[in-house]
C-alpha cells in the first residue's frame, strides 16, 4: 500500500471520530495483507499520526486520541499476524483448561514464559519438553517449596535444559500465568496439576489484550531478574 492509500483508509474511519470494532477488524486484516515488513508497519503508524494531525484543529483532543490509540492497536495486531481479539474463559473440573493450555504450548513458535505455583501434570510437562525440543525458548518461574515436593516436574524440566528460577522466601510464589510468544496470556486460579483438571473448581482466562500482555510481561521479567536459578 502507498502512503496515500493508507491515508484514505484511515480518513474514512475517522469520519465519526471513533474506530468501531468492525472498522478495527477490517483495517487489521487489510494491513496484515499489505504491510509485509517492519518498514511498512512503521510507515502505517506514521501515517496514522499524520492523519490525526490533520484533524487536530477540528476534533476534540480526547476523541482524537481515542481514535489514534485504537488505530495503533490495529496496526500492532496486523504486524503480529494474530487474531484481532482473543478473550476466552475455561473452567474445571474437566479438561477444558488443560486442553487449551496444551494447544497453546503446541502452537508457540518463539517463546513460552511460565510463572506457576507448581507443575505436576505430566501431560503439560511433555508439551513443555516438546516445545523446548523444537527450539522454542521456554522459561519457568515457580515456588521454591513446591519445586522439591514429591510429584513436582520442575526439576525434570530443569534437568532437560529448561531454565528455571524460584523464589527464596518464607512466603509463596503463587502466580498462575503464562505468556505464549508474548502474544497470548493465560491466567487464572488453575494450577498445572492433575487434581486441578480432575477435581477442583478452577478457571483460566485466555487473552491477547496488548495492555495485559505488557503488564504480565513486565511482572515476569521483574521476577526473573529477582529470583535465583535452580
What is the arrangement of strands in the sheet containing 202-207, beginning at the earlier edge strand? 87-92, 202-207, 184-188, 176-180, 111-116, 137-142, 164-166, 228-229
Based on the residue annotation, tell me whether 176 is a catalytic residue of this protein: yes
Q: Is the dihedral of CA 114, 110, 130, 101 positive or negative?
A: positive
Helix or strand or coil: residue 173?
A: coil
Based on the residue annotation, tell me whether 181 is a catalytic residue of this protein: yes
How far is residue 196's CA from residue 191's CA, in Å, rounded to a whole number? 6
Based on the residue annotation, tell me whether 167 is a catalytic residue of this protein: no
How far is residue 149's CA from residue 180's CA, in Å, rounded to a whole number? 26
How far is residue 143's CA from residue 173's CA, in Å, rounded to a whole number? 5
Catalytic annotation, pick one of 174, 198, 218, 221: 174
38-56 burial, b at 16+ Cβ within 10 Å, e below that, comes to eeebebbbebbeebbeebe
117, 177 Cβ separation under 8 angstroms: no
Contacts of 119 (CB under 8 A, 6+ apart): 125, 128, 140, 142, 152, 153, 154, 157, 192, 193
Q: Which residues form the catalytic set?
A: 174, 176, 181
Amino acid at each position: 500500500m502507498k502512503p496515500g492509500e493508507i491515508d484514505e483508509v484511515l480518513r474514512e474511519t475517522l469520519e465519526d471520530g471513533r474506530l468501531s470494532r468492525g472498522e478495527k477488524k477490517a483495517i487489521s486484516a487489510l494491513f496484515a495483507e499489505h504491510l509485509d515488513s517492519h518498514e511498512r508497519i512503521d510507515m502505517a503508524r506514521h501515517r496514522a499520526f499524520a492523519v490525526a494531525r490533520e484533524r487536530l484543529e477540528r476534533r476534540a483532543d480526547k476523541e482524537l486520541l481515542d481514535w489514534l490509540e485504537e488505530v495503533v492497536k490495529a496496526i500492532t495486531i496486523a504486524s503480529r499476524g494474530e487474531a484481532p481479539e482473543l478473550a476466552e474463559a475455561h473452567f474445571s473440573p474437566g479438561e477444558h483448561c488443560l486442553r487449551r493450555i496444551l494447544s497453546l504450548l503446541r502452537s508457540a513458535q518463539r517463546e513460552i514464559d511460565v510463572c506457576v505455583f507448581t507443575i505436576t501434570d505430566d501431560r503439560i510437562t511433555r508439551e513443555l519438553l516438546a516445545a523446548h525440543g523444537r527450539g522454542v525458548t521456554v522459561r519457568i518461574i515457580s515456588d521454591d517449596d513446591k519445586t522439591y515436593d514429591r510429584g513436582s516436574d520442575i526439576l525434570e524440566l530443569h534437568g532437560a535444559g529448561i531454565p528455571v528460577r524460584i523464589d527464596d522466601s518464607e512466603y509463596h510464589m503463587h502466580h498462575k500465568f503464562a505468556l505464549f510468544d508474548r502474544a497470548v496470556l493465560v491466567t487464572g486460579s488453575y494450577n498445572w496439576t492433575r487434581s486441578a483438571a480432575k477435581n477442583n473448581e478452577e478457571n483460566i482466562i485466555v487473552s491477547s489484550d496488548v495492555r495485559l500482555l505488557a503488564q504480565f510481561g513486565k511482572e515476569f521479567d521483574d521476577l526473573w531478574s529477582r529470583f535465583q536459578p535452580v
